[in-house]
Amino acid sequence: MTRPSHSVWESPSSDPNDETVADIVEPADASDLDAFDAVFVGEPFDGAVIGRKGASDGPAAIREALAGVKTHHFESGPIAALGDYGDVRASTPDLESVREAVSAVARTVHDSAATPVFLGGDNSLTVPNVGPLVDRDDADAAVINLDAHLDVRERRGTPTSGTPYRELLESGLATYTCVGARHFETSTAYAEYLDEQGGTIITAEAVGSNLEEAIRRARESVAEVDSVYLSIDCDVLDAAHAPGVSAPTPGGLTPRELFRFVRDLAGHDRLAGVEVVECAPPLDEGGKTVDAAARVVAHALSGMAAGTEPGAAAGGEPR
């Protein structure tokens, strides 16, 4: 692991009343993970990306943007107790070595009382991030993935950012739900595969038509499992809001829809982890994607703090 420098977590505000995320993040190591509600883990790799690269710069850029985000949410109040475990570093840059390094760190954080928040990095690393949950003999795990694509391609040789959920389903993942999938972005064979696996697809169009119903369906799809992992691929956002991804396309979610969805699902009583992947700062325009990714993290943290009941992080009376 490598630790971010102090300057990364430095608030840009000169107002002493402005508590930002930088003010509450503390360094974390394996001996004190239980002291935190959530722990950041950076994964600066994009060697398996299908398409444009740049996501390896995501963890540093998300931290920098998140440092200046204020901690207060109007309904759930301030977020707190955050640790930063640093960035995963592999001995060699090949994907097998990277996955081994990520898996070891993910297992350590999953085994603690803290909820891991993985900052990607490319979507292929979802496999070692979720693997420790799938490997538990006495529990079923599920993934809710906010993504423009299903990412259930057949693995042909080396894994890619398009294969993680097929790999996980074949390894024993109990169920998989994709939220925000775009029409005409997925092959029929892969849609049929996921249907055969009993997975759930909630399109971006469905989210836009009835957000509350889409959230209800997502929660219902994981009602029978023991742990829920929430993955956010930044390309779930419309290209106008997230140009800095490997495959930007029109017709996606708005930031407001994404924040609301994430906040609710992060309040799930069986939440076991969160990741934000495929944020590629070199491809961004005016920091749009990085700023959105940072605020997705903030909304996830707010959801964790808000409670465990369906809709607890949705709004309503201030707490």
DSSP code string of 209-261 = H-HHHHHHHHHHHTTT-SEEEEEEEGGGB-TTT--SSSS--SS-B-HHHHHHH
Give the helix ranges, DSSP H, for 135-238. Answer: 164-171, 188-196, 204-209, 211-221
pLDDT reported for residue 318? 27
Nearest to 88 by CA among 50, 123, 53, 129: 129
Instruction: Sketch the domain layout of the chain as residue ranges.
Output: 6-306
pLDDT reported for residue 283? 98
pLDDT reported for residue 31? 94
pLDDT reported for residue 8? 81
pLDDT reported for residue 153? 97
Q: What is the pTM of this model?
A: 0.94
Residues 133 and 125 sit within 8 Å (Cβ to Cβ): no
Compute the residue count for the chain.
319
6-306 — its CATH code? 3.40.800.10
Collect the ranges in the chain with pLDDT lower than 70: 5-7, 307-319
pLDDT reported for residue 310? 44
Which residue(s) pair with 228 in the sheet? 142, 271
Own/partner long-range contacts of 24-32 (Cβ < 8 Å, ≥24 apart) = 24/71, 24/79, 24/80, 24/81, 24/82, 25/67, 25/82, 25/83, 25/84, 26/82, 26/83, 26/84, 27/3, 27/83, 27/84, 27/86, 28/83, 28/84, 28/85, 28/114, 29/85, 30/108, 32/83
Q: What is the pLDDT of residues 35-88, one digit of tens each?
A: 999 999 999 999 999 889 999 999 999 999 999 999 999 998 999 899 999 999
